[in-house]
């Protein structure tokens, strides 16, 4: 889940990380009253779940209330890199002596958490690090413990910091790592981390992403709207699917993306969901959703997801396609789909366009399907062929 800048700073303040004083404006009607008492000059920032706002003209320096109100209203009425502006953050202008870059993230190749730091913060820091790899300091972290103060000072000294700047940087780095671990983050980036004329380290901007599978234990984030890593806010249909997946701990049945088609999909199997989705599109089908289902979800979860997919008025048929399963019982999968269809008052034989889930307890699953006259595709039928048959049935 990706947080907006204002949300990230709010959360990080509880970890004793400092950010500029600011106010949030959500509607043009409140801009006059909210900005009347604010001190100027100030920075006006569009709140969208994506980077590159400065280059897109969505971060504006203003010198008085009139300029601030005009900038806020223009940003609220527009879009930034395709995203609607959810709110506008107006922050006090801080005296920046130097911009640093500081981030904690996962190295998916080395499979470890790493801290990245550089004296070159601000826009185009990624391009600069590629041109001059030595400008970026990297340190692997042990997720079983916090970053010790002496380790943070070592990183600061590698960057060339000294005196109060070194101590301020080390304190910020320790708190950033603590926040990363406590919040189950996948990315926590501060760019720039501002060294001010007063000798403080201030979060001039913050980018925070949290592992969605860990949200159940992040009660302090419950008030923040869920957004995908892409930044897109889930639809009501997708939120209901997430609620289905949360019914119990068994398996996955509810990671859903909504589309405008008319063929409902129950697909999965270690990447087979992408293969099946693409195959249906290639054969001219119109998927109503993408999903991932597997890991032996309960009959109840499969049934509830089936009912949710069929609850959309434009969807009258579903395709059930998976790779060969070993940790998912075919019979439970079949029972869940059949139950969901029957609960919706529909005929399984007329509703299931194709059922291709070979693997564990396959014979028992076939028996369930045969009882309701649903044809079954075994492993001799490829995913591509199953998708083709689903599209033919859809038509």
Q: How far out from the chain centre does Cα 11 lie?
A: 17
Q: Where are the beta strands (DSSP E) in the chain?
A: 22-25, 42-47, 59-62, 79-80, 83-84, 87-92, 96-107, 112-118, 136-141, 185-196, 201-203, 207-210, 252-258, 263-268, 289-294, 317-322, 352-356
The ranges assigned to domains in the chain are: 21-92, 96-221, 236-394
Q: Give SS3 for 273.
A: helix
Q: What gap in Å lies between CA 371 and CA 374, rounded to an integer?
A: 8
pLDDT band at 110 (very low <50, low <70, confident <90, very high): confident
11-56, pLDDT tens digit by residue? 999 999 999 999 999 999 999 999 998 999 999 999 998 888 999 9
Tokens 């970890």 belong to 15
From 314, 270, 319, 261, select the one nearest 292 (Cα to Cα). 270
Least confident of 224-233, 265-274, 354-363: 224-233
Following DSSP, what letter does each residue of 44-107 receive, concatenated? EEEE-SSS-TTTTT-EEEESSHHHHHHHHHHHHHSEETTEEP-EEEEEEPP-EEEEEEEEEEEE
Do the Cβ atoms of 36 and 65 come closer than 8 Å?
yes
Q: How far out from the chain centre does Cα 53 lie?
A: 19
Determine whether domain 96-221 maps to CATH 3.30.470.20: yes
149-199, pLDDT tens digit by residue? 999 999 999 999 999 999 999 999 999 999 999 999 999 999 999 999 999
Least confident of 242-246, 315-319, 379-383: 242-246
From 318, 293, 323, select the one nearest 307 (Cα to Cα). 318
| Both structure tokens of 8 | 């990230």
Return the CATH class of domain 21-92: alpha beta
pLDDT band at 60 (very low <50, low <70, confident <90, very high): very high
Host H or E run for residue 245: helix 236-245
CATH architecture group of domain 236-394: 3-Layer(aba) Sandwich (3.40)
Residue 333 predicted with pLDDT over 90:
yes
* Cα distances (Å, whole numbers) of residue 22 to 10, 18, 161, 232, 366: 11, 12, 29, 25, 62
Residue 346 predicted with pLDDT over 80:
yes
Per-residue DSSP letter, 14: T
pLDDT of residue 15: 96
Q: What gap in Å lies between CA 232 and CA 50, rounded to an integer?
A: 10
Tokens 């059930």 belong to 320
| Both structure tokens of 354 | 């194709």
Backbone phi and psi for residue 173, each to the nearest 5 degrees, phi listed first: -65, -40
CA angle 242–274–392, rounded 5-degree value: 105
Residue 249 predicted with pLDDT over 90:
no
Sign of CA dihedral 384, 387, 393, 394: negative
Beta bridge partners of 253: 293
Least confident of 222-236, 319-333, 371-385: 222-236
Q: Are the folds of 21-92 and 236-394 the same?
A: no
134 Cβ contact list (under 8 Å, min separation 6):
none
pLDDT of residue 96: 95
pLDDT band at 230 (very low <50, low <70, confident <90, very high): low
């Amino acid at each position: 889940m990706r947080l907006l800048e204002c949300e990230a700073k709010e959360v990080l303040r509880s970890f004793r990380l400092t950010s500029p004083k600011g106010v949030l404006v959500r509607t043009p009607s409140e801009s006059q009253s909210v900005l009347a008492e604010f001190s100027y000059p100030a920075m006006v920032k569009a709140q969208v779940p994506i980077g590159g706002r400065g280059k897109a003209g969505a971060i504006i320096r203003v010198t008085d209330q009139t300029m601030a109100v005009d900038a806020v209203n223009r940003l609220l009425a527009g879009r930034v890199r395709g995203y609607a502006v959810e709110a506008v953050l107006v922050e006090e202008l801080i005296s920046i002596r130097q911009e640093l870059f500081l981030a904690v993230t996962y190295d998916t190749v080395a499979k470890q958490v790493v801290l990245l730091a550089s004296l070159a913060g601000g826009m185009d820091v990624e391009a600069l690090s590629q041109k001059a790899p030595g400008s970026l300091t990297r340190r692997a972290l042990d997720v079983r413990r916090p970053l010790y103060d002496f380790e943070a000072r070592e990183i600061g000294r590698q960057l060339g910091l000294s005196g109060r700047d070194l101590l301020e940087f080390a304190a910020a780095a320790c708190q950033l790592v603590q926040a990363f671990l406590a919040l189950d983050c996948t990315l926590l980036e501060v760019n720039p981390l501002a060294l001010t004329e007063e000798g403080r380290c201030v979060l001039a901007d913050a980018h925070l992403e949290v592992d969605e599978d860990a949200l159940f234990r992040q009660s302090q984030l419950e008030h923040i709207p869920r957004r995908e890593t892409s930044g897109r806010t889930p639809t009501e249909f997708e939120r209901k699917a997430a609620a289905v997946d949360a019914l119990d701990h068994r398996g996955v049945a509810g990671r859903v993306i909504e589309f405008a088609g008319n063929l409902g999909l129950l697909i999965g199997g270690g990447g087979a969901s992408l293969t099946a989705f693409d195959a249906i599109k290639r054969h001219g089908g119109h998927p109503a959703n993408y999903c991932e289902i597997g890991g032996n979800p309960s009959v109840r979860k499969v049934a509830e997801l089936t009912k949710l997919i069929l609850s959309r008025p434009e969807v009258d048929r579903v395709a059930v396609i998976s790779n060969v399963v070993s940790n998912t019982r075919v019979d439970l999968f079949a029972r869940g789909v059949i139950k969901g269809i029957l609960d919706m008052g529909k005929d399984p034989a007329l509703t299931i366009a194709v059922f291709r889930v070979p693997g564990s307890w396959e014979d028992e699953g076939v028996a369930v399907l045969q009882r309701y006259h649903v044809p079954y595709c075994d492993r001799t039928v490829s995913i591509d062929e199953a998708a083709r048959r689903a599209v033919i049935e859809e038509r």
